[in-house]
């Protein structure tokens, strides 16, 4: 018990010292930037948020993004399931995979 207390007494000031050093270095080395209207305005999807005229959003870009997200989520879900496949009941997993792929294909056709 005494060993843990001694380690805490040595460790806590060391952590505080490292935090203060990192904070001091970040304050000293920060960039001094003049405020600029263009650089400080928010930038989202390439649109100028300060103007009233907005270009229509590209539907093709949106569909490609949605399809990418669908297949990205599919890979995240399928890889662990494939890893567990040899250790499980084959009929149960074939039904689960079929249902999952059916939902995925219906979402793809919907898009």
pLDDT digits (tens, 9 = 90+) for 16-46: 999 999 999 988 888 776 777 666 666 555 5
The answer to whether 49 and 57 are in contact (CB under 8 A) is no
Q: Which helix (H) or strand (E) holds 94?
A: helix 90-110
The pTM for the full model equals 0.37
Residues 107 and 61 in one domain: yes
In a domain, 6, yes or no: yes
87-97 pLDDT, tens digit per residue, is 888 888 888 88
Q: What is the mean pLDDT of the chain?
A: 78
Judgement on whether residues 27 and 60 belong to the same structural domain of the protein: no
For 19, the domain range is: 1-31
Looking at the fold, whether 66 and 18 belong to one and the same domain comes out as no
Name the token pair of 80. 């662990």
70 Cβ contact list (under 8 Å, min separation 6): 104, 107, 108, 111
**16 and 63 together in one domain:** no
Domains held by the chain: number? 2
For the purposes of burial, counting CB atoms within 10 Å of the CB of 97, is it exposed (0-12), middle (13-18) or buried (19 or more)? middle
Residue 39 lies in a domain: no
């Amino acid at each position: 018990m005494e060993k843990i207390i001694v380690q805490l007494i040595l460790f806590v000031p060391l952590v505080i010292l490292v935090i203060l050093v990192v904070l001091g270095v970040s304050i000293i080395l920060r960039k001094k930037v003049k405020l600029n209207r263009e650089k400080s305005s928010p930038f989202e999807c390439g649109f100028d948020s300060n103007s009233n005229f907005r270009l229509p959003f590209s539907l093709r870009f949106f569909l490609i993004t949605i399809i990418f997200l669908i297949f990205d989520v599919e890979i995240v879900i399928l890889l662990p399931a494939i890893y567990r496949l040899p250790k499980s009941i084959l009929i149960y997993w074939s039904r689960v995979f079929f249902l999952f792929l059916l939902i995925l294909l219906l979402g793809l056709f919907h898009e």
